[in-house]
Amino acid sequence: MKSEKEKASEGLLYDANYDGQLLRERAECADMTHELNQMRPSMAAEREALLRRLLGRAGKALTILSPFFCNYGYNISIGDNFFMNMNCVILDGAKVTFGDNVFVAPGCGFYTAGHPLDSQRRNSGLEYAFPITVGNNVWIGAQVCVLPGVTIGDNTVIGAGSVVTRSIPANVLAAGNPCRVIRAITEADKERYTQPPRLPHGEG
User: Catalytic residues, which ones?
Assistant: 115
- Beta pairing partners, 38: none
Angstrom distance (rounded) from CA 88 to CA 143: 9
Angstrom distance (rounded) from CA 106 to CA 90: 13
Which of helix, strand or coil describes residue 38? helix
Residues constituting the chain: 204
Encode 136-186 in three state secondary structure: CCCEECCCCEECCCCEECCCCEECCCCEECCCECCCEEEECCCCEEEEECC
Angstrom distance (rounded) from CA 127 to CA 108: 22
Going from the C-alpha of 114 to that of each of 22, 83, 117, the distances in angstroms are: 16, 26, 9
Angstrom distance (rounded) from CA 104 to CA 24: 29
Burial of 157 (0-12, 13-18, 19+ CB in 10 A): buried
